[in-house]
């Protein structure tokens, strides 16, 4: 059960970082996060340790814990890798025989993502981006 709560805490905090609810450079506290995500101290602490190892948060001694700022070099590297992978995946996808229903669902997901972009709704955009890539 503890591992499950730790994973839930990790996912909730990660989603708040990705969606910019926790902004880069923002100071956070274990207690504050416990109150926001409604999960206890130990799972939150373990989730924060994992996020620290992944360099999504950092600790300044005598000051506190902060959300890491966006590293543009890593962003550009990620874009390069993703573009390379997506081209290969796209080639493989084009060789598949999709049903009309699957094509309709893919197009619907793309349209929902497009509308979220127009509405500047990052959370919804990311949701449909994940759906598309699944």
Give the three-class secondary structure for 65. Answer: strand
Is the model's pTM score more than 0.85?
Answer: no
In which domain, by residue range, is 56 found?
2-67
CATH number of the CATH domain containing 51: 1.10.10.10
70-106 per-position pLDDT tens digit: 888 888 888 898 888 888 888 888 888 889 999 899 9
**What span, in angstroms and rounded, lies between the C-alpha atoms of 103 and 106?**
5
Domain boundary residue among 41, 67, 93? 67
Angle between helices 100-118 and 122-133 (to 10 degrees): 160
Which has the minimum average pLDDT: 60-69, 111-120, 121-130?
121-130
* Residue spans of beta strands (DSSP E) within the chain: 27-28, 57-60, 64-67
What mean pLDDT is predicted for residues 45-70? 94
Domain boundary residue among 35, 51, 67? 67
**What span, in angstroms and rounded, lies between the C-alpha atoms of 58 and 71?**
13
Domain boundary residue among 31, 49, 67? 67
| 76 in the same domain as 62 | no
| 55 in the same domain as 14 | yes
Number of structural domains in the chain: 2
């Amino acid at each position: 059960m503890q591992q499950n709560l730790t994973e839930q805490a990790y996912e909730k905090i990660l989603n708040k970082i990705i969606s910019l609810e926790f902004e880069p450079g923002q100071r956070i506290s274990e207690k504050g996060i416990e109150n926001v995500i409604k999960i206890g101290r130990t799972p939150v602490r373990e989730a924060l340790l994992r996020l620290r190892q992944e360099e999504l948060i950092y600790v300044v001694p005598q000051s506190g814990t902060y959300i890491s700022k966006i590293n543009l070099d890593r962003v550009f590297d990620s874009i390069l890798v993703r573009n390379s992978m997506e081209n290969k995946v796209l080639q493989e996808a084009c060789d598949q025989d999709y049903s009309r229903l699957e094509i309709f669902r893919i197009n619907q997901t793309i349209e929902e993502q497009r509308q979220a972009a127009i509405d500047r709704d990052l959370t919804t955009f990311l949701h449909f981006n994940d759906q598309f890539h699944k």
